[in-house]
Amino acid sequence: MQNKLGVHESLELQELLSFKSLCLTKASLMRGLVSDDHLKAIMQQDADMHVRHLQALRDNLTEGEVSSE
């Protein structure tokens, strides 16, 4: 199995990284505005999920060489 990414795949991963970064920023900022502890916990779980997704996307982007084919 090749670990090469096409240019379009690399661009799509970068687009997903941008989107997930925005989601993480929004979840983190909105959590500061919430007073309910249960809702804060849910928002923290959401932020943690985005962090894991960002790491996985970064790993996929750095592990896959970009192929010009």
Residue 2's pLDDT is what? Answer: 59
What is the Cα 35 distance to its own chain's centre?
26
Q: H-helix or E-strand containing 38?
A: helix 37-63
Cβ atoms of 64 and 7 closer than 8 Å: no
Q: What is the mean pLDDT of residues 43-67?
A: 85
Q: Does 12 score more than 70 pLDDT?
A: yes
The answer, yes or no, to whether residue 65 has pLDDT greater than 70, is no
**Segments making up each domain of the chain, as ranges:** 24-64
Which 3 state secondary structure label does DSSP give 65?
strand
Task: Give ∠ CA 54-60-21 in degrees, rounded to 5.
Answer: 20
Question: Does the pTM exceed 0.85?
Answer: no
